[in-house]
Amino acid sequence: MDRTTMTIRTPNDEIAVSIPQGGTHIAYDAAAAIAALVAVRQPIPNAEQSLATATPAFGRLERISGGERDIILAFVKNPTSCNTTLRTLAIGGEPRHLLIAMSNSLVDGEDFAWLWDVNFEAMASRVVHATIAGTRADELANRLKYAG
């Protein structure tokens, strides 16, 4: 989960990239960046190097050393982001201990109806323990109850 390696094919090139951050969403972002360059007919000679040295944003599947265990910080704000993060966490199939916090400040968004569009069910069998917190913990608890 520490690195995303992929090949992006354009009409004129094939670009092998290795990005120092894991996650399907990183692959989507890299492909979109290259597609944007191709769409506006800009050269992409430095794309491999640029992507290889990209600095991950805070909280975007950020790995933090927690002594005997690593902690993975994943900030999500919509169902697509949450589903992509859950799929990434499910890679390898090892059991997971989760802390999920939901809040509804102005920057977080106030409508959490999107929780019902998240496929928590796909991850349920891998979760050993889930702790929930935040100002919207009650809504999250209800959703996770239905997910199993």
State the number of CA atoms in the 13 A half-sphere of 146 facing the CB.
10
78-85 long-range CB contacts below 8 Å, 24 or more apart?
Answer: 78/114, 79/114, 79/115, 79/117, 79/118, 81/25, 82/114, 82/118, 83/118, 83/119, 84/23, 84/24, 84/25, 84/28, 85/23, 85/25, 85/61
What does pTM read for this prediction?
0.76
Task: Tell me the per-residue pLDDT of 92-113, one tens digit each, with 9 for 90 and over.
Answer: 778 889 999 888 877 766 788 8
Q: Mean of the pLDDT values across residues 47-56?
A: 84
Residue boundaries of the structural domains of the chain: 4-52, 76-147
Task: Tell me the per-residue pLDDT of 24-37, one tens digit each, with 9 for 90 and over.
Answer: 888 888 999 999 98
Cα–Cα distance, 63 to 22 (Å, whole number):
10
pLDDT value of residue 25: 82
pLDDT value of residue 115: 92
